[in-house]
């Protein structure tokens, strides 16, 4: 669970990120979940987008992917969302106030 300071820090990092995950028409498939999981392992923080043709809202997409990947939803704005999951082996992002 992220604190508000940690969320604010991650939102700042996400401003410069490009969208790498796109949820389009149809269901959120195992392929999309695998893509999100792999990206979270490599980058720790990813930005996704829900297309207008999707059956899900951006909040639903973010929460479903976060649940399946074991990540936290950092923010949802419009059709975009940001997910965060620390890399258990080699964490790159140091969160403020994180316990060691």
Per the domain annotation, does 55 fall within a domain? yes
Lowest mean pLDDT among 5-14, 19-28, 39-48: 19-28
Where does the pLDDT of residue 99 fall: very low under 50, low under 70, confident under 90, or very high at 90 and above?
low
Per the domain annotation, does 8 fall within a domain? yes
User: Looking at residue 70, which CATH number applies to its domain?
Assistant: 3.30.110.60
Confidence (pLDDT) at 43: 94
| Residue range(s) defining the domain that contains residue 55 | 4-84
Contact 27, 34 (CB under 8 A): no
Element (H, E) at 14: helix 4-14
Contact 21, 50 (CB under 8 A): no
Total structural domains within the chain = 1
Per the domain annotation, does 38 fall within a domain? yes
Confidence (pLDDT) at 72: 96
pTM: 0.92
Per the domain annotation, does 45 fall within a domain? yes
pLDDT digit string, tens, across residues 29-74: 999 999 999 999 999 999 999 999 998 999 999 999 999 999 999 9
| Mean model confidence pLDDT for the chain | 92
3-class secondary-structure state, position 88 = coil
Contact 25, 53 (CB under 8 A): yes
Q: For the residues of 15-69, what is the DSSP string, one character each?
A: TTPPEEEEE-SS---HHHHHHHHHHHHHHSEEEEEE-TT-SS-HHHHHHHHHHHH
Where does the pLDDT of residue 4 fall: very low under 50, low under 70, confident under 90, or very high at 90 and above?
very high
């Amino acid at each position: 669970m992220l604190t508000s300071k940690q969320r604010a820090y991650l939102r700042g990092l996400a401003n410069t990120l490009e969208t790498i995950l796109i949820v389009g028409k149809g269901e959120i498939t195992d392929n999309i979940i695998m893509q999100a999981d792999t990206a979270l392992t490599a980058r720790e923080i990813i930005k996704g987008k829900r297309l207008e043709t999707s059956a899900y809202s951006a909040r639903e997409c973010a929460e479903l992917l976060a649940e399946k990947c074991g990540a936290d939803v950092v923010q949802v704005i419009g059709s975009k969302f940001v997910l965060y999951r620390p890399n258990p082996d080699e964490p790159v992002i140091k969160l403020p106030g994180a316990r060691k």
